[in-house]
Amino acid sequence: MSAEVRVAVAGASGYAGGELLRLLLGHPTVSIGAVTAHSSAGEPLAAHQPHLLPLADRVLVETSAETLAGHDVVFLALPHGQSHALAAQLPDDVVVVDCGADHRLTDALAWDRFYGGQHPGSWPYGLPELPGGRDALRGARRVAVPGCYPTGASLALAPAVAADLVEPSVVVVAASGTSGAGRAPKPHLLAAQVLGSASAYGVGGVHRHTPEIAQNLSAAAGTAVSVSFTPLLVPMSRGILTTASAPLRAGVDLAAARTVYEKAYADEPFVRVLPEGQWPETSSTVGANTALLQLAVDEVAGRLVVVSAIDNLTKGTAGAAVQCMNLALGLPETTGLPVVGVAP
Amino acid sequence: MSAEVRVAVAGASGYAGGELLRLLLGHPTVSIGAVTAHSSAGEPLAAHQPHLLPLADRVLVETSAETLAGHDVVFLALPHGQSHALAAQLPDDVVVVDCGADHRLTDALAWDRFYGGQHPGSWPYGLPELPGGRDALRGARRVAVPGCYPTGASLALAPAVAADLVEPSVVVVAASGTSGAGRAPKPHLLAAQVLGSASAYGVGGVHRHTPEIAQNLSAAAGTAVSVSFTPLLVPMSRGILTTASAPLRAGVDLAAARTVYEKAYADEPFVRVLPEGQWPETSSTVGANTALLQLAVDEVAGRLVVVSAIDNLTKGTAGAAVQCMNLALGLPETTGLPVVGVAP
Amino acid sequence: MSAEVRVAVAGASGYAGGELLRLLLGHPTVSIGAVTAHSSAGEPLAAHQPHLLPLADRVLVETSAETLAGHDVVFLALPHGQSHALAAQLPDDVVVVDCGADHRLTDALAWDRFYGGQHPGSWPYGLPELPGGRDALRGARRVAVPGCYPTGASLALAPAVAADLVEPSVVVVAASGTSGAGRAPKPHLLAAQVLGSASAYGVGGVHRHTPEIAQNLSAAAGTAVSVSFTPLLVPMSRGILTTASAPLRAGVDLAAARTVYEKAYADEPFVRVLPEGQWPETSSTVGANTALLQLAVDEVAGRLVVVSAIDNLTKGTAGAAVQCMNLALGLPETTGLPVVGVAP
Amino acid sequence: MSAEVRVAVAGASGYAGGELLRLLLGHPTVSIGAVTAHSSAGEPLAAHQPHLLPLADRVLVETSAETLAGHDVVFLALPHGQSHALAAQLPDDVVVVDCGADHRLTDALAWDRFYGGQHPGSWPYGLPELPGGRDALRGARRVAVPGCYPTGASLALAPAVAADLVEPSVVVVAASGTSGAGRAPKPHLLAAQVLGSASAYGVGGVHRHTPEIAQNLSAAAGTAVSVSFTPLLVPMSRGILTTASAPLRAGVDLAAARTVYEKAYADEPFVRVLPEGQWPETSSTVGANTALLQLAVDEVAGRLVVVSAIDNLTKGTAGAAVQCMNLALGLPETTGLPVVGVAP
C-alpha cells in the first residue's frame, strides 16, 4: 500500500462530500487533491466543512473536467443528473465513484419514470454485500454508489428473498435523519420544522429509491420483487433505521431465517447480524461504515421482520464509496473505514 | 354547562397525568380536585409538572380509594395492572376513565398472552371515531382509553378494512416520541441515548398494543384482521407518525379510497383527512386532540398506504380521556379540547 | 367583551405570524380577518401553517395597506425594515402591533449603528412588566413588540438594576431555539446543522438586541447600564433560556434580592419567580405567555445570577403582541393568553 | 511504537468508559485488556456499548484491584469518590489515568467544600495545554483528567488571564449535552424532559467544577481569579459550548488579544484559534480531541468574550485521558487521537 492514491472530491461543500473527505483523511494510502464545488467555488472549504481541521487551508475550486484532471480517483457528490456529462469527460482509466443516482438503474423505463429523460446507462453497483455484488467492483473504473435507503433496505432483505424465505412482496418503512436530504436550504428541512416532528414523504411508491430497491431485491431473488417503500423524516442528523417485512414462506421459522442471514453475512466486514435480543440503533453506526441487522418472525401475522441500521452518510454514501474505491484499486476492502460508531 | 364537574387525577406525577391536568385546566366546567401519586406522594406537584402554573400550590397525595372519593370523575393514569383493583373500590356512579391497559382487551386469551394473569374484563373503549364507537361511551361510567399506537393505527386503517378496500392483512410501522414510554427513568430512555438515534422495539408482534390494534380493526372489518406491528423510538418528545398499509382489493383506486375516508370522518371534529398533496407531520398535532391523515395508492406494489399523525399524550391518551369524559357526562364532545397544535 | 374585534395578521406565513394566529384563534373576542404574505401570497395558509386547522381554508393575500384595511387591529410580523412604511399607510385609530424591530429603539444613534439608515422613531414599548411599562400601552394605537432576547434579559435584570442590587454592568448569555431566527431557509438553520450542535453568534456586542436590552435596563435603573450580550443557538425549536449576572452591591444577599423580585412581579400575571430550589426550564413555557425566573447569589464571585425562561414565539413575540392588544383595547390583559406550557 | 501497551478500563459500561474504548480501539500501540464495571459485571459489554463492534464478544468483569492487575495503563471512569481507594491498590509503576474528580483539586478546603470529606490529594493535572501543564504529565504514573467544563473554560480563558488581558474576574456560561451527566438513569435526564428544553443548574457558584476552573485560571494568572460559572443543559448528546468573558484591561484590542491566543496555542495539536469570522460549533468537535476557539472584543461593554467548543466525552474526558497516557508513556502526544469531527 505504499503507492499514494491521489483523489479528488467534486461536490465538497455538501454533506456527502464532507463525509468523503472525513473518511479519506483517515485513509492511509490516499492524498486529497482537488476539492471542488459550483456555487461555492472560491470559498474556503472550512466555511462549509469546519470539522475537517486538516483541510482548513483548502479553497473550493470550480467543478470541471479540468480541475478534476490528474487524479487517480474522482468522487462525484453532485446533484442528481450532473454526474453523467462530467464523468464522460474523465479518462477511462480514472476510477470515478459516483455518489449520485445517474448510473444506478439498469432499466431505462424505470429511469424514465422516476428521473426522466435519457437513461445515462448503468455502472457497476457499489453494494458489494449483495449476492455476487463484489465481483463487478474489483478493478472497476466506474462505480455507482447506491442510494442510502436502498442500502438499508437491500441489506435487510436480500438474504431473505435470495433464499426464498419470504414471498417476493416486501414492505419497507425507513426513518431517516435529515442529512440525507442534502444541504441545499429548503423550508421543510429547517431545524424548527424538523425538531419535534416526524413525517412521511414520497409515499405510495413515488420515491426515487423505490425502483432501486426493487432492482436489488429482484436480482437477489431471481424473480421480480414487489416493493412498497415509505421513507420517514425524523429529527436526527444522521442515520437510517429500516423496518422491512414480507410474508413468510410456509415452514420458515426464526432459527432458519437467522441461519440464512448469518451465513449470508458471515464474511462481510461491515454487516453484522446482532445477537438475539439486541436490536439495532442508528447511533451505533454514526460515522461507521457498518450495517447492523436483527430479525424477528411474527408467527401470528406470518411475516419476517428485519430491522437494519446504517449511517446514511457513511455506509449509506461516502463509506460505501471508499469501500468501492478500495475494491477498484485492489486495496484491502476495509482500508481506512471505521467500524466503530460514535455513540452516544 | 353551569354545574361544575369535580375531577381527580390519579398518577398526576407522570406524563399522562400531567397532560390530563393541562387539558382539564382549560376545560370550562371542570374543577380539579385530588391529584395523587404513589412514590411521589407528599411532594409538590410543581416538582413534577412545573408547566402547570395554576396548580403550583398543589401537593400530591397518596393514590387510594379514599383520596379519590368525592369526585364526579376519576382519571386513572397508572402503571398497567393497577387500575382494576382501584376502580373496583370506586362507586359505580362515578365516571372512571382509565388511561391504562387493564380494560381494553375483550379477549381473555389475548390478555393472558400479552399481559398475563386474570383478565380484568373490558370497559367501553374510548375511541369514539371507530364505527359505532361513540354509542357505548355516551353516559358510560367506566371507560378504557386506547393505547397511543392503537389510536394512530386504528384511525388510519379502520375505514379501509370496514369498506373492504384492502385485504384483512395490514402492516403498521409507527414512529413515536419517547414520552409514550413514560417517566420512570430507564437507561434506554436517557436523552443521550435517544438523541441522534432511531430504533425499533417490540418487533415481531410482541408489543402489547398489537392485539389491541387487531381487536379494533377486526371489529371494524367484521372479520379477523392480521396485524404486523413495529413501533419505532425516534428523538422527539411527543408524537406518533403511523405508516399503515395493506394489499388493495381489485379495482380500488385513490379516488375511491379518499371518498371512503372522507365520508368516514366527515363529521368527526378531531380527525382530518388532509387535502391531496399535504402529508401529516406530528408537529401539527402537538398538544392538540387531533389526528391528521393522508392516503396514497401504490399501484405498482398494489397497496393502500395511509399515514396518520397524532400527539401520543393528547389524542393518544389524555385528550381522548377528556373527550370520553365529555361523552360520558353528556357534555359537548369537543369541550375543552384544543384542535390547534403548537408548532413549530 | 361582547363586541368583536377584527384583526389582520401581516406576515402570516412565518413563525411569528403563525403563533399570532394560534393565539388569536383562542382569543374570545377576536375574529381573524386578512392573513397576508408577500412571496407566498396566493398560496393556502395551510401550506405554511398546517397546525392551524380552523384556518385550513384560508388563502394568503398580498401584504398591503389595502388588504390590511378595515380591521380594528393589525399585527405586523414582517422582516425588519418593512413595518414603518406600511404602518404609515394605516389609519391612526387602528391598533398597529409591530413584531418587528422598526420602532423599538428610542436612540437614533443606536438605530443607525445597529440597523442603519433613517431612524423610524419609536412607539410605546410592549413589555408591560417593565417599571412603568404598562402605562403607555393602555389605549395605545401603535405598539412595538420587544425582541425575544430583550424580553428574557429585561425581565431577568430590570428589578435588580432598578433596586440597585447590582452594579450597572451586566453579562447576558441566552440560549435560543431556532424558530427565533425565522423561517427563511438559510444553510446554518438546516436541521442537520443544528441537531447535535450548539454555537454562539453575534458575539462581542454586535447583535441587534444588545442596544434594546441596554435601553430597557438603563430606563429601569435610571442610569446607563453596560450590557455584554451573547446569544447561543441550541437544538430546539422554541424557547430562550437566559443567564444574566452582575456584580452585587455590598450587603445584598439572596433574601434581599428575592424580596425585590417577588415584589416587582407580585401582581404580574405572566411572570413567576419560582420557589427556591426550582429552576426554570424552557419546556415549561412552550406555547405559554409566561416568563419563569429564579435567582442565586454567588458569594464567592460576588455576583447576582438570574435565570429566565420564555417561549421566544409566545411571551417573546406573539403572546406579548396579544397582551399589548388587550391593553390597547382596554380588554383584561390576560384575555386569550395561555399560562400553561405544553410539556414535556 | 512497537511494544504493545496493555490497558484496562474500569467503568466500561458508562459514557466515559465507552469513549475511552472507542479511542483505544483506534490507538495503534494499545491492546485492550480488562473491561470492568460494578452493577453490570457479568453482562456483555455489547449490552452497554453496542457501537464497539470489535469488542462485541467481551464481558464486563467486576471492578477490583485484582481484575485491573497486569496492565500497563489503567483508566478509571468511575463515579466520583471511588478512584482514590482503588488507585491506592494499584502498583506505583502502573499508569493510572483517573477520569473522576478525586485528584483534581489541590486545595483541601475547596475539596471539602465542594466534595466533602478527606481530601485525597492531587495528581498531575491532565490539561497539557495549560501554561506549563505538559511538564508534569511526561512520564507521570498518576494523572487526574480535568472535568469537562473546566477544560472548555480553562482553554478559553487561560491565555487571557496569563497575559493580563483582562481583570481576574471571569463569567463563564457553558451549554452542555447530556452525556456529561453520565448514564445513571435520572428523571431530569430522560429524553422527554431534555428534548425541546434548555435549563440551568448548579447556579450561583455551587457546581463542583467551579473551584477547578478557578484553580486553573489562578495558576495561569499567577493571582486569584474570581469565577462565576453557570452550566446549562441543552438538547444534544455531546458537546460543550463555553461562553467566557472578563473585563478588558485598558488598551487591549482584538488584534492584541488574538496575538496572545495564537501564540499560546501555536504549537498545540488539539487547540485551534479559528480564523476571524468563523465561530465554533460543537458539531465540529464531535468525537474529536479538539478545542475550537474564537474571540471578540466588546468595546462598548469593555469585555473580552471567548467562545470555545469541545466534545465533553473526547477532549473533555476520554480524549484527554488518552493524550495524557501518550505523554506518560513517552509516545507521540497525538497518537490515536482524532482531530476530525463527525459532522453534521
Indicate the residue type of A46.
A
A186 in contact with C, Cβ within 8 Å: yes
Distance from CA of D25 to the nearest CA of A (A): 8
From the list D174, D184, D285, D179, the residue with the least C-alpha distance to D237 is: D179
pLDDT tens track for B169-188: 999 999 999 999 999 999 99
A196 in contact with C, Cβ within 8 Å: yes
Q: Is D148 a catalytic residue?
A: yes
Whether the predicted pLDDT of C2 surpasses 90: no
Whether the predicted pLDDT of B339 surpasses 60: yes
B135 in contact with A, Cβ within 8 Å: no
Catalytic entry in D55, D140, D148, D219: D148
* Chain A nearest-CA residue for C177: A192
Mutation site for D-interface testing, chosen from C113, C243, C253, C285 by largest number of D Cβ within 10 Å = C243
Q: Where are the domains of chain D?
A: 5-145+315-329, 149-312
Cβ distance B340 to C25 less than 8 Å, yes or no, reads yes
Cβ distance B22 to C340 less than 8 Å, yes or no, reads yes
Whether the predicted pLDDT of A298 surpasses 60: yes
- The domain B5-145+315-329 is placed in CATH, from the list 3.40.50.720, 3.30.70.980, 3.40.640.10, 1.10.10.60, at 3.40.50.720
C69 in contact with A, Cβ within 8 Å: no
Distance from CA of D301 to the nearest CA of C (A): 5
Cβ distance B196 to A300 less than 8 Å, yes or no, reads no
Considering only CB atoms, A185 lies closest to which of C187, C195, C237, namely C187
Which residues does chain C have within 8 Å of residue B340's beta carbon, measured at their own beta carbons? Answer: 22, 25-26, 51-54
- Residue B74 and residue B89 in contact, taking contact as beta carbons nearer than 8 Å: no
Q: What is the CA radius of gyration of chain C?
A: 19
Whether the predicted pLDDT of D252 surpasses 50: yes
pLDDT tens track for D28-82: 999 999 999 999 999 999 999 999 999 999 999 999 999 999 999 999 999 988 9
The per-residue pLDDT of chain C, averaged, comes to 97
Residue A80's pLDDT is what? 86
pTM of this prediction? 0.98
Percent of the residues in chain D that have a pLDDT greater than 70, as a whole number: 99
Whether the predicted pLDDT of A1 surpasses 70: no
Catalytic entry in A37, A148, A293, A321: A148
Cβ distance D195 to B192 less than 8 Å, yes or no, reads no
How confident is the model over C164-175, as a mean pLDDT?
98
Indicate the residue type of C170.
V
Dist. CA B184–CA C139, nearest whole Å: 50
pLDDT band for position C80 (cuts 50, 70, 90): confident
* Chain B nearest-CA residue for A179: B196
Q: Tell how strand C73-76 and strand A5-10 pair up.
A: unpaired
Yes or no: domain C149-312 corresponds to CATH 3.60.70.12: no
- 244-263 in chain D: CB under 8 A from chain C: 245
A185 in contact with C, Cβ within 8 Å: yes
Catalytic entry in C35, C101, C148, C165: C148
pLDDT tens track for D144-194: 999 999 999 999 999 999 999 999 999 999 999 999 999 999 999 999 999
Considering only CB atoms, C186 lies closest to which of A179, A181, A185, namely A185
> What is each CA distance from B119 to B78, B83, B110, B209, B215, in whole angstroms?
17, 13, 9, 16, 15
Cβ distance A280 to B200 less than 8 Å, yes or no, reads yes
Distance from CA of C311 to the nearest CA of B (A): 11
The residues near C124 (Cβ < 8 Å, ≥ 6 apart) are C136, C137, C140, C142, C143, C144
Residue A102's pLDDT is what? 96
- Residue A71 and residue A8 in contact, taking contact as beta carbons nearer than 8 Å: yes
Distance from CA of A169 to the nearest CA of C (A): 33
- What is the DSSP track for B124-166? -BS-TTSTTTTGGGTT-SEEEPPPHHHHHHHHHHHHHHHTT-B
Residue D80's pLDDT is what? 86
Whether the predicted pLDDT of C3 surpasses 90: no
* Chain C nearest-CA residue for A177: C192
Considering only CB atoms, A287 lies closest to which of D195, D283, D342, namely D342
Grid coordinates of B316: 393518544
pLDDT tens track for A179-219: 999 999 999 999 999 999 999 999 999 999 999 999 999 99
Indicate the residue type of A313.
L
A15 in contact with C, Cβ within 8 Å: yes
ipTM of the complex: 0.97
Whether omega before B344 lies within 30 degrees of 0, making that bond cis, reads yes
pLDDT tens track for B94-127: 999 999 999 999 999 999 999 998 999 999 999 9
Distance from CA of A20 to the nearest CA of C (A): 17
Which residues does chain C have within 8 Å of residue D198's beta carbon, measured at their own beta carbons? Answer: 175, 177, 234, 236, 239-241, 281-282, 309
Residue B1's pLDDT is what? 42
- Bridge partners, C247 (sequence order): C303
Mutation site for B-interface testing, chosen from C294, C308, C340 by largest number of B Cβ within 10 Å = C340
Task: Give CA D303 to chain center in angstroms.
Answer: 26
From the list D235, D246, D320, the residue with the least C-alpha distance to D282 is: D235
pLDDT band for position C129 (cuts 50, 70, 90): very high
φ, ψ of residue C257 to 5 degrees: the values are -65, -45
CA dihedral B148, B151, B157, B162 (to 10 degrees): 140
Residue A64's pLDDT is what? 98
Percent of the residues in chain D that have a pLDDT greater than 90, as a whole number: 98
Whether omega before A344 lies within 30 degrees of 0, making that bond cis, reads yes
D178 in contact with B, Cβ within 8 Å: yes
Whether the predicted pLDDT of B231 surpasses 50: yes
Residue D1's pLDDT is what? 43
Dist. CA B279–CA B305, nearest whole Å: 12
φ, ψ of residue A150 to 5 degrees: the values are -55, -35
Residue B80's pLDDT is what? 86
pLDDT band for position B206 (cuts 50, 70, 90): very high
Dist. CA A344–CA D238, nearest whole Å: 8
Whether the predicted pLDDT of D2 surpasses 70: no
C-alpha torsion sign, points B140, B143, B145, B150: negative
Dist. CA A18–CA A11, nearest whole Å: 9
Whether the predicted pLDDT of D300 surpasses 90: yes
Least confident among A110-119, B264-273, C169-178: A110-119
C286 in contact with D, Cβ within 8 Å: yes
* Chain A nearest-CA residue for B187: A344
DSSP-H helix ranges across chain C: 15-25, 65-68, 83-88, 108-114, 148-162, 191-194, 209-221, 254-264, 319-329
Which residues does chain C have within 8 Å of residue D237's beta carbon, measured at their own beta carbons? Answer: 196
Residue A170's pLDDT is what? 98
* Chain B nearest-CA residue for D182: B192
C341 in contact with B, Cβ within 8 Å: yes
Which residues does chain D have within 8 Å of residue B200's beta carbon, measured at their own beta carbons? Answer: none
